Amino acid sequence: MAEMTYRTALVTGASSGLGRGLALWLAKHGLRVFATGRRLSQLQALAAEAQAAGATVEPVVMDVTHAEAAQERIRAIDAECGGLDLVIANAGVGGPTHGKRMDWDKARAIIDTNVTGAAATLCAVLPQMVERRRGHVVGISSLAGYRGLSGHAAYSASKAFLSTFLESLRVDLKGTGVGVTCVFPGFVKSELTAKNRFPMPFLMETEDAVELMGRAIFAGETEVSFPWQVSASMRVLKAMPNTLFDATARRLK
C-alpha cells in the first residue's frame, strides 16, 4: 500500500476499550473521526475529551448487528465527508459457548456482531474506495482466532472468519490503492476482558495497545499481533497437529 495522508476515519465499537482509544488516538493525529456505538452518553464523553485536546470526534449512534441500516449510515457519512479514508471494524462481543452447554442465543449474538456486523462495516464503502483508488479498511480480529479455543467456539470462529475475510480482501485489492490491515490483539484491559474469570497472561494497557495499532495502521502494515509473547505461543499452537493441540487445549482450558 502506498503511503497516504488520512483525513477521515470511522471506528465502530468506539464506546469503550480499544475502539474508544483508537478513535481518540486518530483524532489527536488530525483526523476527523466518526465514532460509532450503541451508547450515546459514552460517545459524547469521548467527543468532549477529544474537543478538549483540540481534536474532532463526531458521535454516531449505530448498531452493527442491524447490518443494512449500519451500511446505509456509513455510506451517508462517506458521502457527507467527501470520502472516508479509513474504516475500522472494531465492534465485537465475547462470552463462553462451550460445546457441552451450547447456548445458541449467545452464539448467534457473537456471530451477528463479530461476523455479520464486521463484514457489513468493511464492505459498506469498499466499492467507493476502489473507485477513488484511495482508502484503508481495518478489522480487529484476535489471537483467539488462530485456533478453536475450548469453551469459546463462537468467539474463536468469529475472529477466524474476520482474519480470513480480510486476507482475501488484501489479495483482491492489491494495486487498487486500497489497503487492508488485520489486527490480532491478545488480552487488553477493557470492559470485555474485565468480565473474564480466567488468567490473562501479558495483559496490556489499552493505551499501549492503541499506540501499537495506530502506528501499524499508518505504516500500512497488513497484519499486526500483540503482545509478542502470546502471539508467538499462538503461532506454535496453530502449527501443532490436531492430536497434540487437542491435548494441550484441554489442559489450558
CA dihedral in degrees (104, 107, 108, 112; nearest 10)? 180
Q: Phi/psi class of residue 115: alpha, beta or left (left: φ > 0; alpha: ψ in -120 to 50)?
A: alpha
In the DSSP assignment, the letter for residue 201 is T
Q: Output the nine-digit C-alpha cell for 192.
A: 470485555
Q: Which long-range contacts (CB under 8 A, 24 or more apart) does 210-218 make?
A: 210/18, 210/21, 210/22, 210/24, 210/25, 211/25, 213/18, 213/22, 213/183, 213/185, 214/22, 214/25, 214/26, 214/29, 216/181, 216/183, 217/86, 217/88, 217/136, 217/138, 217/181, 218/6, 218/29
Q: Compute the C-alpha angle 251/190/69, nearest 5°.
A: 110
Element (H, E) at 130: helix 126-132
DSSP class of residue 115?
A: I
pLDDT at 144: 94
Catalytic residue among 6, 25, 146, 155: 155
pLDDT in tens, 5-58: 899 999 999 999 999 999 999 999 999 999 999 999 999 999 999 999 999 999
Q: How far is CA 180 from the centre of its chain?
A: 12
Q: What pLDDT does 124 receive?
A: 98
C-alpha cell at position 52: 478538549
Which residues on neighbouring strands pair with residue 106, listed in sequence order? none
Which residues, including other chains, have CB under 8 Å from residue 100's CB and lie 6 or more apart? Answer: none
3-state helix, strand, coil in the chain (%, to 5): 50, 15, 30
Q: Hey, is 32 helix, strand or coil?
A: strand
pLDDT of residue 203: 80
What per-residue confidence (pLDDT) applies to 87? 98
What is the spatial distance between Cα 22 and Cα 10, in angstroms, rounded to a whole number?
Answer: 10
To the query of whether residue 6 is one of the catalytic residues in this protein, the response is no
pLDDT tens digit at each of 253 positions of the chain: 556 789 999 999 999 999 999 999 999 999 999 999 999 999 999 999 999 999 999 999 999 999 999 999 999 999 999 999 999 999 999 999 999 999 999 999 999 999 999 999 999 999 999 999 999 999 999 999 999 999 999 999 999 999 999 999 999 999 999 999 999 999 887 666 666 665 666 788 999 999 999 999 999 999 999 998 889 989 999 999 999 989 988 876 6
191 CB-side CA count, 13 A: 13
Q: Do 73 and 39 form a contact (C-beta atoms < 8 A)? A: no
Domains of the chain: 8-252 (3.40.50.720)
pLDDT of residue 214: 97
pTM for this structure? 0.93
The pLDDT value given to residue 253: 60
